[in-house]
Amino acid sequence: MKILTIDIGTGTQDIYLYDSRQDLENGFKLVVPSPTMIIHRRLKAATRRGQPVLLDGVIMGGGPGAWAAEAHARAGIPIYATPQAARTLNDDLEQVAQAGIQIVSEDEALRLPASVQRILLQDFDYAAIAGAFEQFGVALDDLAAIAVAVFDHGDAPPDVSDRQFRFDYLDERIRAENRLSAFAYQAEAIPAIMTRLQAVAQSVRANPQLHDLPLVVMDTAPAAVLGASFDARVRAQSRVLVTNVGNFHTLAFRLGPGGIEGVFEHHTGLLNLPALETLLRALADSSLTHADVFEHHGHGALVYDPEPLPLTGELDVVVTGPRRNMMTPSTLHPYFAVPFGDMMIAGCFGLLAAVADVQPELGEPIRLSLAGAGGSGTPPWEIN
């Protein structure tokens, strides 16, 4: 059985092809530029040429791609966007227009002159991924499922803070089903408010080859933390604090036998080591409040179990994520997780575990594979 997993971040997209006939360490993998970085480079090249562009497609990750689009407009070069693509920059299309980007209908886009460069926005590009594997003689024509992780702020109403809306969503999912795989969905069950997850499903279903394949989508940080849990030393713990230090967002979960005991999410760019250590200590001792994070322009924090987690320096604080080196000199003596020997693919391993939960018919071989390094195929905080 083969499952294609893609963990899409700001800097890279990390791709792992699971094959139940092989040890996980032997699975084929790619770490390549993220979709938003690809769009960023295409837009910067168009800006240098002075060429008008059209952004078409669906909502995808913003960041570098969105900044390049705004820079193109500031340079005085025409830039157009269809409504779905424009929401990559902002859910409020009036604000997109105010940034100098002309919103056009699909019909109007078709009538633009050939001199306008078409740039397709999408997080999931099956043709590119399949083509890369094909160059090495690996075909993707026998997949049992696809799993994709992206960060989704959600479609907040105009009068609601994006940060609060995002954190309310995290809280709702934890209270509804206290486990990391609660942030994963079959394509048919994606909440309407999670528009980026919906767009991923739309991109997958647009390909006739993939139309009937099981598809699981998940939030990136819970996927990374769940994947880090499969480091043999981490899953041997009964309670642990795991933080994913991402390029844009840092999210930490305190985990125990009952599931998620506490959580906070902040913007990585607003944190330095002392600030991050302070948040982690407060999450561990249950003193962290929502205001401690939200009032410093983070998303928020909640503690669900008041029993403190003593930080003894013996594998209490686990770190993963592309900016994990921020924690290298930490006095918390963090452990840098390497599930199945590869930190960069942690999110893909988390996606696999989530597939086993939300697609039960695929679960047995996945759990056998995840248990390959010893112990259970499910971390203790996921059994509740």
Tell me which residue has tokens 């009952």. 258
Question: How distant, in Å, are the alpha carbons of 97, 219, 227, 352 from that of 347?
Answer: 35, 10, 5, 9
Which tokens hold the place of 205?
Answer: 């279903």
Residues 145 and 216 in one domain: yes
- Residue 227 in domain: no
Query: Rounded to an integer, what distance in angstroms lies between the CA atom of residue 219 and that of residue 269?
Result: 20
**Single pTM value for the model:** 0.94
**Among the three residues 121, 136, 171, which one is the final residue of a domain in this structure?**
121
Examine the pLDDT at 184 and tell me if it is beyond 90: yes
Phi, psi of 218, rounded to the nearest 5 degrees: -155, 155
Q: How far is CA 115 from the centre of its chain?
A: 35
pLDDT of residue 326: 95
- Residue 375 in domain: no
Examine the pLDDT at 384 and tell me if it is beyond 80: no
Cα-trace Rg, the chain: 21
By residue range, what is the domain housing residue 320?
Answer: 232-337
**Confidence band (pLDDT; 50, 70, 90) for 376?**
low
Residues 41 and 26 in one domain: no
Query: Rounded to an integer, what distance in angstroms lies between the CA atom of residue 243 and that of residue 254?
Result: 9
Residues 143 and 273 in one domain: no
pLDDT of residue 276: 97
CATH number at residue 98: 3.40.50
Task: State the average pLDDT over residues 284-310.
Answer: 96
Task: State the average pLDDT over residues 168-179.
Answer: 94
Which tokens hold the place of 289?
Answer: 């409040």
Which tokens hold the place of 234?
Answer: 């981490």
DSSP assignments along 317-359, one per residue: EEEESTTGGGGTT-TT--EE--GGG-GGGHHHHHHHHHHHHHS
Residues 161 and 207 in one domain: yes
pLDDT of residue 377: 65
Examine the pLDDT at 375 and tell me if it is beyond 70: no
Q: pLDDT digit string (tens) for 26-80? A: 999 999 999 999 999 999 999 999 999 999 999 999 899 999 999 999 999 999 9
Examine the pLDDT at 196 and tell me if it is beyond 80: yes
- Residue 368 in domain: no
- Residue 24 in domain: yes
Q: pLDDT digit string (tens) for 82-104? A: 999 999 999 899 999 999 999 99
Residues 131 and 15 in one domain: yes
pLDDT of residue 314: 77
**Among the three residues 106, 121, 136, which one is the final residue of a domain in this structure?**
121
Residue type, 270: L
pLDDT of residue 383: 61
Q: How many CA atoms lie within 13 A of 195 on its CB side?
A: 19
Given strand 102-103, what is the order of strands in its sheet?
Answer: 102-103, 79-81, 53-57, 117-121
Residues 12 and 101 in one domain: no
Of 171, 197, 218, 238, the closest CA to residue 356 belongs to: 218
Task: State the average pLDDT over residues 337-342.
Answer: 95
Percent of all residues in the chain with a pLDDT value above 90, rounded to a whole number? 90
pLDDT of residue 159: 86
Residues 24 and 54 in one domain: no
Residues 70 and 140 in one domain: no
**Confidence band (pLDDT; 50, 70, 90) for 177?**
very high
- Residue 180 in domain: yes
- Residue 172 in domain: yes
Of 108, 82, 107, 112, the closest CA to residue 96 belongs to: 82
- Residue 185 in domain: yes
3-class DSSP assignment, residue 235: helix
Q: pLDDT digit string (tens) for 208-249? A: 989 889 999 999 999 999 999 999 999 999 999 999 999 999
**Confidence band (pLDDT; 50, 70, 90) for 313?**
confident
Residues 206 and 131 in one domain: yes
3-class DSSP assignment, residue 313: coil
Examine the pLDDT at 111 and tell me if it is beyond 80: yes
Residues 192 and 236 in one domain: no
**Among the three residues 337, 356, 374, which one is the final residue of a domain in this structure?**
337
Q: pLDDT digit string (tens) for 314-324? A: 789 999 999 99
Residues 75 and 205 in one domain: no
pLDDT of residue 170: 94
DSSP-derived letter for residue 229 is: T
Percent of all residues in the chain with a pLDDT value above 70, rounded to a whole number? 98
pLDDT of residue 17: 98
**Confidence band (pLDDT; 50, 70, 90) for 374?**
low
Phi, psi of 70, rounded to the nearest 5 degrees: -65, -35
Q: What is the mean pLDDT of the chain?
A: 94
Q: pLDDT digit string (tens) for 346-358? A: 999 999 999 999 9
Query: Rounded to an integer, what distance in angstroms lies between the CA atom of residue 365 and that of residue 367?
Result: 6
Domain count, the chain: 3
Residues 213 and 259 in one domain: no
Query: Rounded to an integer, what distance in angstroms lies between the CA atom of residue 20 and that of residue 10?
Result: 29
- Residue 384 in domain: no
Residue type, 369: S
CATH number at residue 237: 3.30.420.40
